[in-house]
Amino acid sequence: MKTSYLDLSLEEIHNLLKTKKIKVKDLLDECFERIEETKDLNAYITLDKENAYKKAEELDSKEVNDNLLFGIPIAIKDNILTKNVLTTAASHILDNFYPQFDAHVVDLIKEKDMVIVGKTNMDEFAMGSTNETSYYGKVLNPYDKTRVPGGSSGGSAVAVASKTAIFALGSDTGGSVRQPASFCNIVGLKPTYGRVSRFGLIAFSSSLDQIGPMSRNVYENAILLNAILKKDERDLTHHEKEEDFTSLIGKDIKNLKVAIPNYYISDKVSENIRNRFKEIVSLLEKKNVKVDYVDIDHLKEAITLYKIIGMGEASSNLARFDGIRYGLTIEGNYSSEEYVKKVRSLGFGEEVKKRIMIGCHILSGENAKKYYHKALVLRNEMTNSFKDIFKKYDLIISPMTSSSAYNFDDKNNHDFDDILAIPVNMAGLPAISIPISKENLPYGMQIIGDSFSESKIYQLAYAVEKMIGEENV
């Protein structure tokens, strides 16, 4: 049976391109064949075949340099702006919205001569964790189509997991890169807040949102993060801290100090995941990694903080969608107020409407002081609790989710998944999810670092990935 180019490592693909044994067009042919074969997964909202093949033709006429991302197919979450390519954030209200400019990260991947295959499905305006709130239909998990892929970057996770793209970009507001990565057996990183420019990201919660890379393995994840870092003056929260994130990959992890929050390994996490996590901890201890169990304040309040801050900021950010300047329009003789009300009623899904209404209540009058301002104080206390841990430890590790992917009709409460994910966003910290499951259904392990410690996260993540690979030999 012929080996798929999409099964090869990034370096193997690069060498084939460099020696002209394959063309970029060959990679795209395989991608679009796979997309057609797996279209029932509903990972994509829009395919960009015409531009992709035009780019491939241009690249195939060039000499290939040492850029590992040359000609590599990537999928983009549909809340990241792509010039003249339909961008919907999976919402009816953005029907026929063709941006006039690229997001900063899209500019950068184009500079690296990557090829965009399409825009991926997602929860509407990134509000959800199952990928069921999309106007374009739910996304299915490639490991079991009756189960959720995770969200809100479910389409991006499925695109990588189903081998329709080598890479994807997602966004993470409360676990939206890491949770689907866990459920779909891929690697997903939420960078430090401000590490990657948010210019051109359709905002959900501006103080929490962060664009992150999704990939097949740890090394390739670091390569993509390297590519999307360049300073952007248009995002005032963006930090100018460029570095090579592969620099610590493969380095000895001996004497790293790692903390495990007691609350994160309670019986709220399923027994099989707890047991597997303990096996990973034992492997780390055999490598002379120092592991301690710690308590971190305010983890239990994470969901409440997320709802207050996230919904408050969402109600403000989504006020701009009115059907007047772009997106959904309707016919009829309406006053301006009636028109906006009608467009927003038709254009937004139920989950988005609910969050806007709650957010408006949170920010109205005295409620802003009563809820939002108090939440910011508690958020600061949570951040300081993490900072105290990082005075003594290099990294924090935990399960990424409390279970593997659950069924679409599952009525159980999965709030603990949010408690595992959200504090990282509240504190603006970097965190990665890497696959650790030995079972048929995937799940991941989370590695959290102090601000701007992505290289150290990749160091440990790569070591764990390698240890798991050696287990399977």
Catalytic residue among 129, 134, 152, 171: 152
The residue whose two tokens read 């670092």 is: 449
Cβ 432 vs Cβ 411: under 8 Å: no
Tokens encoding 54: 């035009």
Q: Is 266 a catalytic residue?
A: no
Catalytic residue among 171, 176, 385, 402: 176
Helix axes 350-363, 302-317, angle to 10 degrees: 100
Q: Is 77 a catalytic residue?
A: yes
Tokens encoding 449: 């670092």
Catalytic residue among 77, 112, 190, 456: 77
DSSP notation for 162-214: TTS-SEEEEE-SSSTTHHHHHHHT-EEEEPPTTTS--TTBPPS-TTT--EEEE
- 90 backbone dihedrals φ, ψ, rounded to 5°: 60, 30
Looking from the CA of 381 toward its CB, the CA atoms found within 13 Å total 13
Cβ 167 vs Cβ 220: under 8 Å: yes
Q: Residue 338: CB partners within 8 Å, gap ≥ 6?
A: none
Name the H helices within 348-414: 350-363, 367, 374-390
DSSP notation for 212-265: EEEESSHHHHHHHHHHT----TT-TT-------TTTTTTS--TT-EEEEEGGGG
Q: How far apart are CA 196 and CA 104, in angstroms?
A: 9
Q: How far apart are CA 88 and CA 86, in angstroms?
A: 6
Q: How far apart are CA 419 and CA 92, in angstroms?
A: 30
Cβ 103 vs Cβ 290: under 8 Å: no
Q: How far apart are CA 302 and CA 179, in angstroms?
A: 16
Q: How many CB atoms lie within 10 A of CB 239?
A: 16
Name the pairing type of β-strands 290-294 and 257-261: parallel
Q: Is 176 a catalytic residue?
A: yes
Tokens encoding 363: 């920010």
Of the candidates 170, 237, 226, the residue with the CA atom closest to the CA atom of residue 198: 237
Rg (the chain; Cα; Å): 21
Active site residues: 77, 152, 176
